[in-house]
Structure 1
Amino acid sequence: MSMSGANQSSVSEFLLLEFSTQPQQQQLLFMLFLNMYLATVLGNLLIILAISTDSCLHTPMYFFLSNLSFMDVCFTSTTAPKVLANHILRSQTISFPGCLTQMYFFILFGDMDNFLLAVMSYDQFVAVCHPLHYTTKMTHQLCALLVAGSWVIASLNALLHTLLKARLSFCADNMIPHFFCDLTPLLKLSCSDTHLNEMMIHTEVALITITRFVCILVSYLCITCAVLGIPSTKGTWKAFSTCGSHLAVVSLFYGTIFAVYLSSSSSHSAEKDIAAAVMYTVVSPMLNPFIYSLRNKDLEGALRKVIGRKFST
């Protein structure tokens, strides 16, 4: 259905959904959301600071981990501050340009998280399956190229979806059944033809997200086969504990994303989508520093040095 330019400009802002209509629950959820956001920022910044200040951690694995921590801070910051500000200002509105901007950075940093998880699985694969060639394969140039390439693809993908969304018309209904401007909820409000947008979403999920997820699975299948062939029980346990943290992060991140974007639209509800979105936009980035520092003596030591230095001053 084609709409006129006047209709497109009739919606200058959108209304985001509140977590709860009851004031007491709103206060509780606000404090919970605020604490999770602060824990996410503090935890990931500590990881970045520990890795950057400890020369022993200047390796490809920790280089990718520091980039992942930075992306987690950016990813959470695309949605959480707006939610908190809306609660304080008692306003759920977001302008049309602001909505597109939020969506662009949400896709950008979400894609970067996806790419970095795939790159880190490849790094683990080379370290476990080809340990003798690790230093020659995972060079500084290759690591920088992998991150830079991820930035380029993620930026282009985010720009494509944002431009496709900008061409749509939005008429009377401006209530987004979500706490941020996500792709699918925003599409449902459009009164113009959204087939191209939907096709691009499904294509992106099939070609990029699922492909990266399959690469991670294949990498860890090879890692598992290699680890099971280690004669030493201690060596097997050490290898599994090193890879286990990455697998936990991957499972948490992809599990909630697939629950939202790959389930049928008929099974979607605002409550389920919001709960799943909170998991991968706030909870997963908050837990990542704890997961990666758990049973990692090198990182634990670097974190103790950083925290001890702060308290001593």
Structure 2
Amino acid sequence: MTQAPILTLTLNPALDMATEVADIIPGHKLRCSEPQLDPGGGGLNVSRAIKALGGDSLALVAIGGLTGDRLAGLIRGEGVTFLSILGPGETRQSLTVNEASTGKQFRFMLPGPTWGEAERARVFTLLGATARPGGISVISGSQPPGVPVDFPAQLAASMPESRVVLDTSGSALTEAVRHPIPGLEVLRMDGEEGEALAGRPLPTLADTAEFAQSLVHAGVARMVIIARGAEGNVLADAQHRVFAKAARVKVKSTVGAGDSFVAAFVLALSRGQSNDEALALGSAAASAAVMSDATQLCRPEDVMRLLPECAVTKV
């Protein structure tokens, strides 16, 4: 199946470790199970899920130090096509610990090394050389320490002919809403972030859809997607407001659900499918991801099995 080029950008990747203990008790030595290691970080997870779903992408990944070398080995092992950007210092690690007695999950995210002007300049050069006209470029995950709050806008400006998808959080998300990025194709956020930006609760689908469409009309992006957790996902463009229901599944871990959504959504768009079809596939991928352990992403067989449940309706 033909598809437009997809580029993903991960500036603050992590070597993800996942383990389990019987009980988390302060002051005790906690005996952990054998850790599972995965390459992590928003854009990188998107590329991994695209690969699992039978698509292709090029992942640009900032890598540094011995942890970075180990991360690169894991990426190669998964068969994901990637280019490494020389990042500062040592690539960060993250730790997910499941408590067997309660089923609770604890996630420890280290900050990563601080970026300077030289590292930023390298990224702009590489993006200018690799982003393809008409292709889709995904800026996803946390921004590294040391970059300005409008860094996603600077990144997008270095890819003027690419359709840019932004999935970020915190001050970078707030900045992208207050000072819209010219030509941004898609902005995605979760429900809590949407409520924080709206300054009010968004209890109903209609509330969420109305707020998403208000952002489109304000020029924030051509499409705005707001995830409503286990309920599903809302998408608004200038003319339409639609909702794709999430499939009903048993939740093991919510890690990677958002990245799986973005991967499936972007892959569908790159293959020329409609926004509705892309939203349904994204919702099925997010539902499939929560069925898997720890840092694992969606499995293609689960996605296709759940897809019929993820019906798209107008809001």
Q: TM-score normalized by structure 2? A: 0.26
> More helix per residue: 1 or 2?
1
Q: Which has the larger radius of gyration?
A: 1
Q: TM-score normalized by structure 1? A: 0.26
